[in-house]
Amino acid sequence: MHNTDLSNLALRCRRLFLRDHVLDIMIGAHAFEKGQPQRVAFNVELFVPYAHSTPQSDCLAEVVDYDFVREVIARRVRVGHIELQETLCDQLAAELLAHPQVQAVRLSSCKLDVYPDCAGVGVEVFLMKEGP
């Protein structure tokens, strides 16, 4: 991805975001992480072209609903234990990007309680559709 791609997104898209969405989920590759949920914070940004996110009638159906993001995350969490944050982020970002109105997705997950000497450990991904 080039800087021009990011500049085009910034100029052509509205940025919708969900910040610090904290859930208890089953995640982790280490033995001490299995069998008990961990607090994970999700941060999501959706880049939606203005043509698909500028309401004409002040109606929710004219935009991408924030509930969509929360539902995608909740649906994956219900599937069960996942070993890696990388896998989780890749799966979530791909599903969010599949929405017809979404042009790009930035998503991060952060395990909040893994180490006592830091606020969290995490992964961030950025995916963008090809083309205009």
b/e for 50-86, b at 16 or more Cβ within 10 A? Answer: eebbeeeeeeeeebbeeebbeebbeeebeeeebeebe
pLDDT at 15 over 80: yes
Using DSSP, state whether 69 is helix, strand or coil.
helix
Q: Higher confidence at residue 15 or residue 55? A: 15
Using DSSP, state whether 75 is helix, strand or coil.
helix
Q: How far apart are CA 81 and CA 27, in angstroms?
A: 5
**Which domain CATH number covers 66?**
3.30.1130.10
Q: Worst-scoring range by mean pLDDT, 2-11, 28-37, 40-49, 99-108?
A: 2-11
Arithmetic mean of pLDDT over the chain = 91
Q: Residue 9, CB half-sphere, CA atoms under 13 Å: how many?
A: 23
Span 71-85, pLDDT tens digits: 999 999 999 999 999
Domain of residue 83 covers: 3-128
Span 42-93, pLDDT tens digits: 999 999 999 877 878 887 877 788 999 999 999 999 999 999 999 999 999 9
Domains identified in the chain, total number: 1
